[in-house]
Structure 1
Amino acid sequence: MKLNTKKIFAFISIIVISTICLQFYWNYKNFTANEERLKNEIQIAYDNSLEIYFDEASKETFISVFSTDSTVQIEDFIEKIKTDSFFGKKLKEQKKSFTPIKESTTDMSFKFEETENNIKKPITPKDVKVKDIIVLKGKKAIDSIGGIEQFPNKITMSFVNDTIKYKTLDSIFKTELHRKNIVLNYEFNHLKKDSLFYIYLKKEEKLPFKIKPNSTYLKPNETINLNYEYSNKILIKRMSGELTLSIIFSIAVIGCLFFLLYIIKKQKKIDEIKNDFINNITHEFKTPITTIAVALEGMSKFNPENDTIKNEKYISMSFNQLNKLENMVEKILETATLNTNELQLNLEEINLIPFVKSIIKKYQNITDKQIDFIFNTDKILFKADLFYLENAISNLIDNAIKYGGNFIELNCYVIEKKIIIDIKDNGNSILKSQEKKIFEKFYRVPKGNIHDVKGYGIGLYYTKSIIQKHNGTIELIRNNNTIFRITLPNEH
């Protein structure tokens, strides 16, 4: 089944876009819900502030009136205190001369300080006549509520002051906001009969949101509106948990989809490389097989006189091609074991200078290109497997001969406890876009349908694997020349 990468990419793109849109919609709905919740919390905080403010203000004007005479009827008692002159008189007397001296759950004692003849006579509830009515104001009136339950006739009253202490209200409101972790920019608009009476904390800019309080303490046709604005940072902070989970989920889904696309593309690439490798290896095997077949045919059909010289020529030709086939099969088998534990290096200490010289000498006999070797010392010791390291360096020299220019140079030197081997040629056949791919298994630099140079794309992969097994690295350095640099550890 042929993979259609474009269709798969389009499908994955649709899924990614849908996921992003869904998460955006979900977060938007969550944002609006948190915004409404925040507005409700501000409304509650403001209503609570007004309730607290008026409750505290009412304590200052709280009045308790009670009678010590159990025989008086409640109707007569109410009529008695309705008299403004009496009520005012009692308040005046209370302010001047009455104080509670003892409170308990079973008894409450009071005293009047008589000014006539400077005689101070204590009076208990039993001694108080019907005419005696006691008036308490403010905190004393509030504190006395629990202690006057024994008196049958009592009335408590609270008066609302027309004057609003905006600073006190603001302090209470700030406390409520702080308790809910809300930061606002706000002002109070006091309106009477729909006309603006006063603005407290007036702002230069117009505030976008307004709250009308739900308080029973405010008079009809009077209100104190709250105009405010808030920063979206409050909502984002409140949504931090949901946003984090949303982002993680989105990244996970998108990452998995793109990873799937990467795997599909990689599988497609491997499939293409496999087919290319089969084509290349078939072409490589076909040449020596054909050559051997021609030699055998020549011996059987074109040498009836059984010429020994011709036979030796045909036999030599066949042996050379068989050796070539054997080397190719050996390389393929070695490549198959490079990533397994089956490949064991037989390490021995060698001198790299004569070792590299012997490799260069072998290639100087089969090529017309100039190969130079530059080194700054006659002895560089290194523990290596002679067979595999020779193959690795040979692959680089072979590539330089096949694909490089007319001049090849090898450098071997030690620097900062590292052994450096450079294989340089003056060719420039590797494009920058291919630099990271050339060490991949079975990868060949594409040349279209041109097969002027034979190969099957495992030389550089083989070399990289062998160098890594020697605890070294290999890299391509591009300047005016092509340089493959091998770096090995120097343990001496």
Structure 2
Amino acid sequence: MDKKKIKEFFADKKNRRFAGLSALTFLGLIGALALQAVWLINTYQLIQANIRKESYETIEKALEEEGNMRFGQTPKGTKIMSGPTNDTIPPMTYFYQRLNDMGYPMSLHNLDSITNELLVNKDLGNRYYIYLINLQTGERLDSIGTHQEMSWLSIKPKYFPIRSDYTQVIQLILTNPFQTFLERMGLLILATIIILILVVSSIIYQIRIIARMNKIFQIREDFTYAMIHDMKTPLSSIFTALYFLHSGRLDNKPETKEKYYTIAENEVDHLLTLTNRVLTLSKLESHKLEMNREDVQLEPIVENLTVKFTAKAQKPVRFTADLKAPMVYADKEYLEEVLSNLMDNAIKYSKPEGVDIRIRSELNEKYTVVKVHDNGLGISEADQRTIFNKYERAAAGRKKNKNRPSGFGLGLNFVQQVMNAHEGKVFVTSIEGEFTEFALFFPKE
């Protein structure tokens, strides 16, 4: 499977995975909002129906009390006969009609006072109209109330006839029962707001998780490409060297034979170093690797690395050392690996005409500080915030500068993990195009 097919495989797998997550998230949000909307609408309609029923009962009760007040004014022993009733004509209609015909007309002012008191007692507010209407002609005969403007919350109970021919009906209209709705739906509205906040927060958090997963997947994908590409070169070199050595063509050329042995050894060392670095990082991140710290002489390590990189580098490299602190309390093996990483990077990211690398050490109250300074290409401010991330170099392979050295993005993360294991710190200072300096802070014993 070539690199293109691998890329297509990962891309297709990633797209299907995140498309599924996005669709699930969208459906979850729509479902939650729909459920809340249905819940609110049903509750609103139920409360509206209850208020309408209570309003009708209120005006019915008010008419009864007002009618009894008028009946109290009639001569003692007066009797009022009822008439035929049905679903639309209540029995009390004939009572009010007979009183009116006897010369005891209904008083809207008395009805208004009684209605206001009953509404307040039932917590239905005091914003209302009472209309006297001729239902046959639609003419409004009279009205009384608080004269509040109508709103979309207005409640209009059914008419109550006070004449059996519907030439006079009473209708109570609650013009703006906002307070009533708020009192009865307050907890529900508050719960809805809280649920919506939780749902939206969860969706936002899930989107961030998906974005983070996408980024991690992209980094892993880039790392896979970089690993395949970078491992291909040393493996090809090893294969070529072994082919010539095994063929016997170099048996009479000891110098060339030795050269091919050296190439194969160097490439194998490169692959083993990478493998060990990955394993070490895994152990460091899971806290399974112990640092065997002791007082370590810096000078021999710096000299060995200087000889190694001077011979290995394919461009001029000049080393200088200023070791004011000759000893470091650290794990010798990992200290050497960290310095090797920083020197290797200094050579990689330098100009073709060469690079000057300066290694310094000094003491302060708490730390032994080791600094590796070079006059190479430098690091941009944006990259300085991410260079210690795992696989960052691999992810950077897609950035605009395609000519930069490729890699797995493990070196500087390895440096940071080792410094953390030493309970120390690492900092970078750089100006793009001028210099880069890494400072390693090792705690004193």
Instruction: Give 3-state SS (helix, strand or coil) of 2:110's partner.
Output: coil
| Alpha-carbon separation, structure 2, partners of 1:37 and 1:484 | 72
Q: 2:317 aligns with which of 369, 377, 401?
A: 369
- 1:403-418 aligned at under 5 Å gives the runs 403-405=349-351, 406-410=355-359, 412=361, 417=366
What residue number does 1:490 align with? 443
Q: Kindly indicate whether the alpha-carbon contact (under 8 Å) linking 2:153 and 2:175 is maintained by their aligned counterparts in 1.
A: yes
Q: 1:241 aligns with which of 177, 191, 199?
A: 191
Instruction: Return the offset for 1:336.
Output: 1.5
Backbone CA RMSD of aligned residues: 4.9
- 1:160-171 aligned at under 5 Å gives the runs 162=107, 163-164=109-110, 166=112, 169-171=115-117
Q: Kindly indicate whether the alpha-carbon contact (under 8 Å) linking 1:422 and 1:483 is maintained by their aligned counterparts in 2.
A: no
Q: 1:338 aligns with which of 264, 268, 281?
A: 281
Q: Kindly indicate whether the alpha-carbon contact (under 8 Å) linking 1:190 and 1:225 is maintained by their aligned counterparts in 2.
A: yes
Instruction: Give 3-state SS (helix, strand or coil) of 2:397's partner.
Output: coil
Is 1:465 matched up with 2:409?
A: no
Instruction: Return the offset for 1:174.
Output: 3.1
What is the letter of the counterpart of residue 443 of structure 2?
N
CA 1:299–1:32 in 2, change beyond 3 Å: closer, same or farther? closer
What is the letter of the counterpart of residue 230 of structure 2?
N
CA 1:82–1:237 in 2, change beyond 3 Å: closer, same or farther? closer
Higher mean Cα deviation, 338-347 or 424-433? 424-433
Q: 2:231 aligns with which of 256, 281, 304?
A: 281
Larger C-alpha radius of gyration, 1 or 2? 1
Is 1:46 matched up with 2:58?
A: no
Q: Kindly indicate whether the alpha-carbon contact (under 8 Å) linking 2:59 and 2:172 is maintained by their aligned counterparts in 1.
A: no
| Alpha-carbon separation, structure 2, partners of 1:477 and 1:439 | 16
- 1:23-38 aligned at under 5 Å gives the runs 23-38=32-47
The unaligned stretches of length 5 or more in structure 2 are 1-5, 80-103
What is the letter of the counterpart of residue 459 of structure 1?
G
CA 1:33–1:201 in 2, change beyond 3 Å: closer, same or farther? same
What residue number does 1:427 align with? 376
- 1:82-121 aligned at under 5 Å gives the runs 82=78
TM-score by length of 1: 0.60
Instruction: Return the offset for 1:400.
Output: 0.8
Instruction: Return the offset for 1:357.
Output: 5.2
Q: Kindly indicate whether the alpha-carbon contact (under 8 Å) linking 1:420 and 1:486 is maintained by their aligned counterparts in 2.
A: yes
Instruction: Return the offset for 1:36.
Output: 1.6
| Alpha-carbon separation, structure 2, partners of 1:207 and 1:450 | 66
Instruction: Return the offset for 1:282.
Output: 3.3
What is the letter of the counterpart of residue 332 of structure 1?
T
What is the letter of the counterpart of residue 301 of structure 1?
N
Instruction: Return the offset for 1:423.
Output: 3.4
Q: Deviations over 1:259-305 (max 9, x none)?
A: 56865774565355235313312312443564576578575134xxx
What residue number does 2:251 align with? 300
Q: 1:172 aligns with which of 91, 115, 118?
A: 118
Instruction: Return the offset for 1:82.
Output: 4.9
| Alpha-carbon separation, structure 2, partners of 1:165 and 1:343 | 89
Higher mean Cα deviation, 343-352 or 243-252? 243-252
Q: 1:191 aligns with which of 92, 110, 132?
A: 132
Instruction: Return the offset for 1:390.
Output: 1.5
CA 1:262–1:326 in 2, change beyond 3 Å: closer, same or farther? same
- Report the identity percentage: 15
Is 1:226 matched up with 2:226?
A: no
CA 1:434–1:289 in 2, change beyond 3 Å: closer, same or farther? farther
| Alpha-carbon separation, structure 1, partners of 2:63 and 2:237 | 106
CA 1:429–1:192 in 2, change beyond 3 Å: closer, same or farther? same
| Matched residues, number | 387
What residue number does 1:446 align with? 397
Q: Deviations over 1:123-157 (max 9, x none)?
A: xxxxxxxxxxxxxxxxxxxxxxxxxxxxxxxxxxx
| Alpha-carbon separation, structure 2, partners of 1:268 and 1:261 | 10
Is 1:387 matched up with 2:333?
A: yes
Instruction: Return the offset for 1:395.
Output: 0.3
| Alpha-carbon separation, structure 1, partners of 2:190 and 2:265 | 72
Instruction: Return the offset for 1:451.
Output: 8.5
| Alpha-carbon separation, structure 2, partners of 1:206 and 1:413 | 83
Q: Deviations over 1:434-475 (max 9, x none)?
A: 663664249434289989958555433332332222123445
What is the letter of the counterpart of residue 45 of structure 2?
E
What residue number does 2:272 align with? 329
Q: Kindly indicate whether the alpha-carbon contact (under 8 Å) linking 2:128 and 2:147 is maintained by their aligned counterparts in 1.
A: yes
What residue number does 1:211 align with? 155
CA 1:325–1:11 in 2, change beyond 3 Å: closer, same or farther? closer
Q: Deviations over 1:205-253 (max 9, x none)?
A: 5434543445869676142432423669945752443565566567657
The unaligned stretches of length 5 or more in structure 1 are 64-78, 84-158, 179-183, 303-309
Q: Kindly indicate whether the alpha-carbon contact (under 8 Å) linking 1:188 and 1:226 is maintained by their aligned counterparts in 2.
A: yes
| Alpha-carbon separation, structure 2, partners of 1:413 and 1:45 | 87
| Alpha-carbon separation, structure 2, partners of 1:418 and 1:199 | 89
What residue number does 1:201 align with? 146
Q: Kindly indicate whether the alpha-carbon contact (under 8 Å) linking 1:12 and 1:258 is maintained by their aligned counterparts in 2.
A: no
What is the letter of the counterpart of residue 272 of structure 2?
V
CA 1:211–1:453 in 2, change beyond 3 Å: closer, same or farther? closer
| Alpha-carbon separation, structure 2, partners of 1:400 and 1:483 | 8
Q: Kindly indicate whether the alpha-carbon contact (under 8 Å) linking 1:359 and 1:390 is maintained by their aligned counterparts in 2.
A: no
| Alpha-carbon separation, structure 2, partners of 1:380 and 1:40 | 88
